[in-house]
Amino acid sequence: MTSIVFLCVLLFSTISNSQAATRARTILDGPLANGNFEQAPKPSNLKNTVIIGKYSLPKWVISGMVEYVSGGPQPSGFYFAIPRGSHAARLGNEATISQNVNVKMGRVYSLTFAATRTCAQDEVLRISASGQSSDLPIQTLYSSDGGDTYAFAFNATSSRVTVTFHNPGIQEDPACGPLLDAVAIKEMKPLRYAKGNLVKNGGFENGPFVFKNYSTGVLLLPKIHDVISSLPGWIIESLKPAKYIDSKHFSVPTGLAAIELVGGRETAIAQIIRTVPNKVYSLSFTIGDAKNDCHGSMMVEAFADKETVKVKYESHGKGGLKTASLKFKATKTRSRITFYSAFYHTKLNDYGHFCGPVLDDVKVWPI
């Protein structure tokens, strides 16, 4: 009898674990197949660093001159920074790398990918998925160690989409081209209001995939480059991206994530909330620094409808926070709240690494 009970328990446990695994597989949240490019082509499919053959890079389809490169000094005199592993793919002029991914039609997904330029020229990386695309200029480096990571969101119009990275070839030297280091995908959670807060995703907990073993944050593309935001509920309405940071790698005021305003006045995030005309509301938020050596006199400017407030914060780069609030009277049924950093900042010992004040815990409620 004891043996029968044990077998039943074991069978039930196996079925439960199998069902849990199946559910886990239905939610995309992690690297693409060979997304870190550590599965190498066969030596017979390599001519020096150039990959020969459309299907020679495991799990990917390539066209044009795609190189399989290793980090460190190169024979040509370049130095390739590949902080998330040992290998990466470099796209020459008009080269393309793509992969098919099974998704849920109608859902929003965010691609997180590590990309950097390899030459001191204008370089562009075109990202496409499900009929939506963006040309990302990667001339500006936000991390001096090659650790720039971006997010691109798209709406799945079918159950199977092709994720494509393409070098449109605008640089003068055809040997130059963007370096693709790692690629991951995440299914974005539906937006919901938190009780007592008119702001959706005010704590920034709902955001793109973050690489767990390495992070300099994830740069969120401005609306001009990505119509669908990788930060649900929010609009990146600026020329420069905002940075999504996590509590594992940075100091975050509350919860698991926050936003770092890395581009000064060129980085602004906004949200349009529902309000009642002539009703008075209170806006509260928290600012601080990410404990990432970002120093100096910081200032975050916040706008709510027609009211504004400037909040100063003196950063020593060691973490800290400060709360602020603003009262405003709604003039319409929709009110815009906006945040940006008044100044530009870099790390104390690394002037090539852009940084800025951290924003978190945004709330609006009627008075």
**What confidence score (pLDDT) does residue 120 get?**
64
10-56, pLDDT tens digit by residue? 444 444 444 433 333 456 789 999 999 999 999 999 999 999 999 99
The boundaries of the domain holding residue 104 are 29-187
Question: What CATH number is given to the structural domain containing 52?
Answer: 2.60.120.260
For residue 339, the cross-strand partners are 269, 302
**Domain total of the chain:** 2
What pLDDT was estimated at residue 275? 97
| Alpha carbon distance 189, 95 (integer Å) | 33
The tokens of 63 are what? 């066209």
Co-location of 286 and 361 in the same domain: yes
- Give CA angle at 338 (341, 359), nearest 5°: 50
Q: Which two tokens stand for residue 109?
A: 């997904």
User: With 80 as the cut, is the pLDDT of residue 232 above it?
Assistant: yes
Q: Using one digit for the tens of pLDDT, what is the confidence trace for 184-193?
A: 999 999 888 8
**Residue 4: is its pLDDT beyond 70?**
no
**3-state SS string for 222-267:** CCCCCCCCCCCCCEECCCCCEEEEECCCCCCCCCCEEEECCCHHHC
Q: Which two tokens stand for residue 323?
A: 């709360």
Mean pLDDT, rounded, for 346-352: 81
- Residue 178's identity, in one-letter code, is P
Q: Is 222 among the domain residues?
A: no
Q: Considering the domain boundaries, does residue 308 fall inside one? A: yes
Q: Are residues 49 and 179 in the same domain?
A: yes
pTM of the predicted model as reported, rounded to 2 decimal places = 0.88
Tens of pLDDT, residue by residue over 198-223, are 999 999 999 999 998 877 899 998 88
pLDDT over 90 percentage in the chain:
62
- 245 in Cβ contact with 268 (< 8 Å): no
User: What residue spans of the chain are helical by DSSP H?
Assistant: 2-26
> Poorest-confidence range of 43-52, 117-126, 160-169?
117-126
Q: Which residue in this structure is represented by tokens 């800025």?
A: 356
Shared domain for 37 and 183, answered yes or no, is yes
pLDDT on residue 7: 40
The residue type of 39 is: Q
In the chain, % of residues over pLDDT 70: 87
- At residue 22, the pLDDT reads 37
Q: Domain check: are 288 and 352 in the same one?
A: yes
pLDDT, position 137: 82
Residues 183 and 238 grouped into a single domain: no
In a domain, 68, yes or no: yes
